[in-house]
Structure 1
Amino acid sequence: MKHEVTVAEWNRCHAEGGCALELRTRAKQDAGTTPATGLSYLDVSEYLAWINARSDGGYRLPRVAEWENLAAPVLPEEPDPIFTDPDLTWASTYLLGEQKSRALRPQGSYATTPDGIVDMDGNVWEWTQDCYAGASGASTSRCPAYFVAGEHLAAVPFLVRDPARGGCAVGSPPAHLGLRLVRDTPL
């Protein structure tokens, strides 16, 4: 998808009974251009099932490697860490680089990749289909957390809708959890 799924697109799923969660926008936000956020992996799974049932199918979440490949042209390079002691490297993420605004912005507020994909460098972190099972080696059929892609990768528990309240172990937490779909079959 060129853009992330919007609130209006999400609410169509809700209105048709495919998605349990109904989303609202703040005053002065347009549901047609505001990314759908505050979504857990379970919410996203409902949307995927709905859109595939009402279309000719083929939609899915991107894999981490696909997302990173598409976003590479617009993501900033990783700065060299201030600290070389492995026990202090976490501190570098809090001291380097400008901090992005956490305010949710409409589609087109960030860069466009050479492939025409918009806002991959924005503050909406996108769910991927890649499971993070940690050291437990849990089966992906019972995955406890999935990777979200944004400023950096983060493993977020599948029930979390607001990562600022937990779910990100390294670096700054994602501002918003949303989704962008990919399709294996040509349109």
Structure 2
Amino acid sequence: MPVLVALALTAGGVGYYVWTAMLPSPDGSPAPVVEADATASIEASNPGPRAVRDCDDCPEVVTVPAGSFLMGSAADDPAAAPEEQPQHQVTIAAPFAIGRTEVTFAEWIACVADGGCNGYRPPHEGWGGGPRPVINISWHDAENYVEWLARKTGKPYRLPTEAEWEYATRAGTTTAYWWGNDIGHNLANCKTCGSAWDEQQTAPVASFRANVFGLFDVHGNVWEWVEDCWQPDYKAASTQGLPPNSRRGCSKRTLRGGSWDNSPDLLRSAARLWGQADGRDNSIGFRVALTLPATDDAAAGR
């Protein structure tokens, strides 16, 4: 499946390059080199689509191709929770762009410096800002950021839908994590993940390997807000992955991905949680999405 994804992207004219990241650990030493375990028979550095940014201080985004996938957990999955079912097929009809990493403190402060984000300066808990994911962010804060980004760039930035998030995270896989069914060692930041930051604090973004779509930290580090109002299950889920009633002003919004302070089961691609839309926590951040212009082929239904 990753080979098919790569071919689809190449056919669309997207270039490739290899990302490598050696960001500092909390003690200032280089981050340990990630080694694939028995469950992850993939290269230590993944190729992925080329990342672009629309301004010097904007987040980098990568383009994710259109496609279909099974969202949620299978009925016979022993790790499945009721909110992850029923598993259902979703079609992402058009390519979209999504943040290569979670939005960082540096990117958030650029918004504040430009008069956006209501001037809010979230605390970093003494862990440092800069390249670490911005935390203590509510869903409304995240919306303020993407609205500022849309004004600054003139492009339709937004939060990803829940379906887009899972589709981009899975990157063509059907396993618990994009690298396999076991959490492995030093592949993410969580409780018992084997990283230098486990259960202590956030890691700088891109401290671990990217998936085939070129996305970092989709498992662990911080929970990520998505556009959708919280739904307790998928019984009424859209087959196009559209968020139901997302603009109705619901008080509960959906979170995906797990965090530095969670056990591995909450980092699974299918795992989901809710938070109060106005709630802030040091385990919550977000990444951006961008609606892309329709292509001639898409408009013609090809």
Deviates more, 1:98-107 or 1:151-160: 98-107
Q: Tell me the number of residue pairs that the alignment of Structure 1 and Structure 2 aligns.
A: 155
Deviation track 1:15-58 (CA, whole Å, cap 9, x = no partner) reads 22211311354657351x11111100111111111110110221
Q: Contact conserved, 2:252 with 2:277, CA < 8 A, in 1? A: yes
Higher RCO (C-alpha 8 Å, min separation 6): 1
Q: Does 2:169 correspond to 1:71?
A: yes
Task: From the superposition, tell whether residues 159 and 26 of structure 1 become closer, same or farther in structure 2 (CA, over 3 Å).
Answer: closer
Task: Tell which structure's C-alpha radius of gyration is larger.
Answer: 2
- Residue 213 (structure 2) aligned to one of 95, 115, 123: 115
RMSD: 2.8
Aligned equivalent of 1:61: 159
Identity %: 28
1:20-59 maps to which residues of 2 (within 5 A)? 20=118, 21-25=120-124, 29-31=128-130, 33-59=131-157
Unaligned residue ranges in structure 1 (runs of 5+): 80-96, 163-174
| TM-score (normalised: structure 1) | 0.72
| TM-score (normalised: structure 2) | 0.46
Q: Secondary structure at the match of 1:48?
A: helix
Q: Does 2:222 correspond to 1:124?
A: yes
Tell me how far 1:110 sits from its aligned partner. 2.7
Within 1, Cα distance between the matches of 2:128 and 2:113? 20
Tell me how far 1:3 sits from its aligned partner. 1.1
1:1-187 maps to which residues of 2 (within 5 A)? 1-20=99-118, 21-25=120-124, 29-31=128-130, 33-72=131-170, 73=173, 74=178, 77=181, 99-100=192-193, 101-102=198-199, 103-132=201-230, 140=246, 141-150=248-257, 151=267, 152-162=271-281, 176-185=283-292
Task: From the superposition, tell whether residues 67 and 24 of structure 1 become closer, same or farther in structure 2 (CA, over 3 Å).
Answer: same
Deviation track 1:118-173 (CA, whole Å, cap 9, x = no partner) reads 111122111000111669xx9641211111101221011101112xxxxxxxxxxx
